[in-house]
A = this chain, B = another copy of it.
Amino acid sequence: MKTIPAATVRQVDKAHPCDRCYQSRFCLPIALPPEQTGRMREIVHRTMRVGKGECLFRSGAAAMDKVYAVHVGSFKSVVHSTDGRQQILGFHVPGELMGLENLVARRHAIDVVALEESEACEVNVRDLELAARDVSTLQHQLHCLMGDRLARAQQDQFNLGSAHAEERLARFLLDFSQRLKARGLSSWQLTLHMTREEMASYLGLTMETVSRLLSRFHRDGLIRLSVRELQITDREGLAALIAPLES
């Protein structure tokens, strides 16, 4: 199947990551009040640079004491079954936290792999928990992040369980675009750094089905697409293919 992802991860430099990350939430989804930002240096101790296709970390049987925030680029997280199948659990764009599911031991292994040249901040969970005990807003932010992550997983569950191929893909495109927009990136012109097969795995479909549907969306004037470069030309049209969840 796939080659085992390499683990050549480099610390980007001896210094800490940019202070901008601490103060605005641009790339780190947690923040402390201005007078406490100095403490962030205890929590985030380094920034890792990861090449395309390389593995940032593998969460395994043992509980980890690190989580990672996407700084630049994008990642996928993927589980493998013992018979060689694999399922992509999600894609991660700047500002999103990875590894929250690994605070507890005794679970399946998940590989987190870069889809392109990327950077991630390593966050020490012990220090984070320690700081959360002093700063209630941080504690609450952390709980919100986990809640948010759980809500996302549930949306995926709905998509896999109750939607046909067309709707699954439409949902994915809109959601992905939405998440980029939330980080101030372009929401109508974007690059799909994952392969068709990776999209398919995430959506519980095959590569061929995804390809056919993308072609159809293109024919119907919903998107413009040249391989990896995507433009959403008719957001309304795409949205018409999906039924939003009740709120």
- The reply to whether the CB of A133 lies closer than 8 angstroms to some CB of chain B is yes
User: Which chain B residues lie closer than 8 Å to A153 at the CB level?
Assistant: 150, 153-154, 157
Q: Judging by beta carbons under 8 Å apart, are A108 and B246 in contact?
A: yes
**Stretch of A115-123, A198-206, A216-224 on the interface side:** A198-206
In the complex, the chain B residue whose C-beta lies closest to that of A160 is: B160
Given the complex of chains A and B, what is the CA–CA distance between A144 and B79 in angstroms?
Answer: 20
**Stretch of A39-47, A68-76, A83-91 on the interface side:** A83-91
A198 → B minimal CB distance (Å): 12
- The reply to whether the CB of A237 lies closer than 8 angstroms to some CB of chain B is no
Given the complex of chains A and B, what is the CA–CA distance between A136 and B129 in angstroms?
Answer: 8
Partner of A147 from B61, B100, B139, B201 at Cβ < 8 Å: B100
Identify which of A61, A156, A158, A201 gathers the most chain B CB atoms within 10 Å of its CB.
Answer: A158
Q: Judging by beta carbons under 8 Å apart, are A81 and B244 in contact?
A: yes
Q: Judging by beta carbons under 8 Å apart, are B81 and A161 in contact?
A: no
User: Which chain B residues lie closer than 8 Å to A104 at the CB level?
Assistant: 143-145, 147-148, 151
- The reply to whether the CB of A212 lies closer than 8 angstroms to some CB of chain B is no
Binding site for B on A (CB under 8 A): 60-61, 63, 79-83, 85-87, 89, 100-104, 107-110, 125, 129, 132-134, 136, 139-140, 143-151, 153-158, 160-162, 201-204, 243-247
Q: Judging by beta carbons under 8 Å apart, are B136 and A61 in contact?
A: no
- Contact flag A204-B160 (CB < 8 Å), given A139-B132, A154-B101, A245-B79: yes
User: Which chain B residues lie closer than 8 Å to A83 at the CB level?
Assistant: 243
Given the complex of chains A and B, what is the CA–CA distance between A72 and B209 in angstroms?
Answer: 45
- Contact flag A154-B201 (CB < 8 Å), given A139-B132, A146-B100: no
Q: Judging by beta carbons under 8 Å apart, are B161 and A202 in contact?
A: yes
Q: Judging by beta carbons under 8 Å apart, are A108 and B245 in contact?
A: yes
User: Which chain B residues lie closer than 8 Å to A247 at the CB level?
Assistant: 60-61, 107-109
Q: Judging by beta carbons under 8 Å apart, are B161 and A109 in contact?
A: no
A96 → B minimal CB distance (Å): 14
Q: Judging by beta carbons under 8 Å apart, are A246 and B109 in contact?
A: yes
User: Which chain B residues lie closer than 8 Å to A151 at the CB level?
Assistant: 101, 104, 107-108
A92 → B minimal CB distance (Å): 14
User: Which chain B residues lie closer than 8 Å to A129 at the CB level?
Assistant: 136, 139-140, 143
Q: Judging by beta carbons under 8 Å apart, are B203 and A161 in contact?
A: yes
